[in-house]
């Protein structure tokens, strides 16, 4: 049997119940990784876990509210308890919605930023000692919205911009350690989260249309090899980067 890229490696994947998180979990499992799967959707998480087991992989499912700092901090120790080590953290979970700026409540703001920035930070914070020990890696999933002023996505775009700078700041703080910390910035992805998003009344569709990719949206599976590349030895020269994978949205 030929060796797989993540044989004898352990990865945390958040957002694993659906969409890009689920596709990422399957891609890691296919390459031999043992997985800790996290998501607030317990039923979807169990479905992902069951599929990983069918593939011959090993995984544990941890229903987790990614806006809960304590729950996020529990993931890395659980990975080490279950599998003896931790090599990769993939922060894929995200919260997304359209709102008029005047309709964003403190609760909505805190939810979006809690899942998209606060959660990833506390997952990484608790994982860093293990990742440094294993010369491991972090891959955060940001968004093309981090690089654009995006109408009706003030909360989301600002959270993803913060995640990009979180990635770069941690990369600099740990530049003298063996851990690598990077991000990707997709454009539109055909997932239930994005395709099922409701549109508020009274928005100006000419503003929303400015961000529609001329080359269409990506499928989750289009992005998993980029994530695995950054997570593993193929990405050994990349640290503190955010790689755009947005089909040209931010090109001009």
- In this predicted structure, the answer to whether residue 2 has a pLDDT above a threshold of 90 is no
Q: Picking from 22-36, 94-108, 196-210, 221-235, which range would have the lowest pLDDT averaged per residue?
A: 196-210
- In this predicted structure, the answer to whether residue 1 has a pLDDT above a threshold of 60 is no
Q: Picking from 43-47, 119-123, 199-203, which range would have the lowest pLDDT averaged per residue?
A: 199-203
Q: pLDDT for 64-104, tens place per residue?
A: 999 999 999 999 999 999 999 999 999 999 999 999 999 99
Q: Picking from 63-67, 102-106, 143-147, 203-207, which range would have the lowest pLDDT averaged per residue?
A: 203-207
- In this predicted structure, the answer to whether residue 195 has a pLDDT above a threshold of 70 is no
- In this predicted structure, the answer to whether residue 5 has a pLDDT above a threshold of 80 is yes
Q: Which two tokens stand for residue 224?
A: 């998993």
Tell me the domains of the chain and their CATH numbers: 10-245 (3.40.50.720)
Instruction: Note whether 6 and 31 are within 8 A (CB).
Output: yes
- Average pLDDT over the chain reads 94
Rounded to the nearest 5 degrees, what angle is found at the Cα of 138, between the Cα atoms of 2 and 177?
Answer: 100
What is the spatial distance between Cα 120 and Cα 117, in angstroms, rounded to a whole number? 6
Number of other residues whose CB lies within 10 A of the CB of residue 50: 12
How much is the pLDDT for 189?
81
Paired strand residues for 182: 139
What is the spatial distance between Cα 137 and Cα 182, in angstroms, rounded to a whole number? 8
- In this predicted structure, the answer to whether residue 193 has a pLDDT above a threshold of 80 is no
How much is the pLDDT for 248?
85
CA 183 to each of CA 13, 14, 137: distance values in angstroms, whole numbers, following the listed order: 14, 14, 11
- Once rounded to an integer, what is the mean pLDDT over residues 159-188? 97
Identified catalytic residue from 130, 156, 174, 211? 156
Active-site residue flag, 130: no
Residue 214 phi/psi, 5° resolution? Answer: -65, -25
Reported confidence tier of residue 131, pLDDT bands at 50, 70, 90: very high
Higher pLDDT, residue 230 or 218: 230
How much is the pLDDT for 3?
84
- In this predicted structure, the answer to whether residue 10 has a pLDDT above a threshold of 80 is yes
- Once rounded to an integer, what is the mean pLDDT over residues 222-245? 97
- In this predicted structure, the answer to whether residue 128 has a pLDDT above a threshold of 70 is yes
Residue 22 phi/psi, 5° resolution? Answer: -65, -45
How much is the pLDDT for 126?
98
């Amino acid at each position: 049997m030929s060796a797989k890229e993540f044989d004898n490696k352990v990865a945390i994947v958040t957002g694993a119940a659906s969409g890009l998180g689920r596709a990422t979990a399957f891609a890691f499992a296919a390459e031999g990784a043992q997985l800790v799967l996290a998501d607030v959707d317990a039923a979807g998480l169990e479905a992902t876990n069951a599929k990983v087991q069918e593939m011959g992989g090993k995984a544990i499912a941890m229903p987790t509210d990614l806006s809960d700092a304590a729950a996020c901090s529990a993931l890395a120790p659980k990975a080490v308890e279950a599998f003896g080590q931790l090599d990769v953290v993939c922060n894929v979970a995200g919260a997304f919605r359209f709102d008029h700026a005047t309709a964003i409540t403190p609760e909505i703001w805190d939810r979006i930023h809690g899942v998209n920035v606060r959660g990833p930070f506390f997952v990484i914070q608790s994982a860093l000692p293990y990742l440094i020990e294993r010369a491991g890696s972090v891959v955060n999933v940001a968004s093309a919205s981090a690089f654009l002023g995006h109408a009706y996505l003030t909360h989301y775009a600002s959270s993803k911009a913060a995640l990009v700078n979180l990635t770069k700041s941690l990369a600099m703080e740990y530049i003298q350690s063996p851990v690598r910390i990077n991000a990707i910035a997709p454009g539109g992805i055909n997932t239930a989260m994005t395709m099922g998003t409701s549109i508020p009344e009274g928005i100006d569709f000419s503003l929303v249309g400015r961000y529609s990719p001329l080359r269409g949206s990506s499928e989750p599976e289009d992005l998993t090899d980029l994530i695995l590349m950054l997570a593993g030895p193929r990405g050994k020269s990349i640290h503190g980067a955010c790689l755009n994978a947005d089909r040209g949205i931010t090109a001009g």
